[in-house]
Amino acid sequence: MEDDEEKLVGIFIGASVESSAQLPFKIIHRNGEEHTIISQLHNLFVFPFASGKSVLAEKIPNSKLSLSHTEPAIVGTITSDGSIVKSDLINAANRVYCMDEAHRLNKKGMDAMLSLLESGYYNRSLGYAMKSPVNDGDYKKLGWSMETEESLNSISLRVRFSCIGFCERVTASMQGAFLSRFAIFNVVLTDKDIFNLMRGEGILKAGNVKSKYKLYKKPVIFSCYDDFVDEYQKIVMDKELNLIFSPLEKGYLARIGSHLAKLSVYFARIESKNKIKKLSEEIKVEKHHYRKALLFAPLLVRNLKEISLTPEMYKIYDLYFLKKLGQKEVSDLLGVSKSHISQAVKFLKSQGFIELTKRQDEEDKTILRELKFNKKS
């Protein structure tokens, strides 16, 4: 992985760290209607095993690393007398919640994370009535709160956090609603990258981001949001990204748009002229902010499609489309029939992978050329 590609990963890690404690931003539509969206950008990095993902997770500043992904480990435990046993996620309030080995998330843990990733809110039934309401004391100021329903048999939890997940594969249960909550990066490492990792270099440098950012007291205003949607729609249609998703997968396009909107807000907050503003001053998203974010649209689509492949199908995709080997060479390397490879290639072409691959290098170079970001951003 080249140094510039590490920067692409690093900018999303930086956006998660910076946004972790920020207020929701406000969208103002052309028709005057307004609504808010949480600022926190969640990312999922798919790495091969033994490739440094756990080390990278530990390097991310202002974060809480979690290896336990059960429901109690995520939302905490409540005793009958109203005492709280805090979870890793609660301890990550106003910080980055790093989920290592995210593919091990069980169903109840995933159900809990769905609404927390979407809005920072989760409600659950306890299965028993508490003797007294939960008392979370002074913890609300730390970015989380827990309240008891009137019946004393259910509680609601609010936590403000960014989430960065690391996994070696995406399971079938992760696909759909859960996966759509994340901006996806499929990290492909060469032999050279592996040896650089052993030296503590390469992708590990993507975790070298700032740890302290200003915490603004007013929501960022995104009054040009409909213009952003217009330009996002044009990119999707012109590049035929809409054809890559089946009718049941079209929701991914909306989710990717949401991630790009959050990235636009991040670019607005870290711009030099806004960084010198007082915490109580208003920040607005401008055209050049969202146009920077929109450069990432094809990359996020491509990564999302790549990680949806089975391990065998990804090998064929990598060898045939990326490494440009012939079907017979792929057949010999994998020890399967040429007709099997032929059918797999037809499937991949029908899913739009050939077009994604053709534009891949050009689009990544465009991002790096246009952004011109540095490690301090």
pLDDT digits (tens, 9 = 90+) for 241-300: 887 788 888 899 999 999 999 999 999 999 999 988 899 999 999 999 999 999 999 889
Q: Is 53 exposed, middle or buried (0-12, 13-18, 19+ CB in 10 A)?
A: buried
Q: Are residues 90 and 194 in the same domain?
A: yes
Residues 213 and 94 in one domain: yes
Q: Are residues 210 and 341 in the same domain?
A: no
268 is a domain residue: no
Its domain, for residue 50, covers 3-228
The residue among 189, 212, 228 that closes a domain is: 228
Of 185, 213, 228, which marks where a domain is finished? 228
In a domain, 255, yes or no: no
95 and 213 fall within a common domain: yes
HSE-up (13 A, CA, CB side) for residue 104: 10
pLDDT digits (tens, 9 = 90+) for 7-54: 788 899 999 999 999 999 999 999 999 999 999 999 999 887 877 788
Clarify whether residues 337 and 224 are in a common domain: no
Is 83 part of any domain? yes
For residues 151 and 69, the model is more confident at 69
96-124 average pLDDT score: 89
Do 199 and 326 lie in one domain? The reply is no
Dihedral sign computed on CA atoms, order 49, 54, 60, 63: positive
Does 45 fall in a domain? yes
Question: Within a domain: residue 293?
Answer: no
Examine residue 301 and state whether it is found in any structural domain, yes or no: no
**How many distinct structural domains can be found in the chain?**
2
Q: How confident is the model at residue 375 (pLDDT cuts 50, 70, 90)?
A: very low
Sign of CA dihedral 340, 306, 247, 107: positive
Q: Is the dihedral of CA 56, 190, 348, 337 positive or negative?
A: negative
Specify the pLDDT at position 219: 95
- What pLDDT, on the 0 to 100 scale, is given for residue 186? 84
Q: Which CATH number goes with the domain that contains 104?
A: 3.40.50
Say yes or no: 9 and 130 in one domain.
yes
Angstrom CA distances, 358 to 321, 352, 361, 363, stand at 9, 10, 8, 10
Query: pLDDT tens for residues 207-251?
Result: 788 888 999 999 999 999 999 999 999 999 988 888 778 888 889
In tens, the pLDDT along 320-368 reads: 887 889 999 999 999 999 999 999 999 888 777 766 655 666 666 677 6
Structural domain contains residue 222:
yes
Q: Does 260 fall in a domain?
A: no
**Domain C-terminal end among 228, 252, 271:** 228
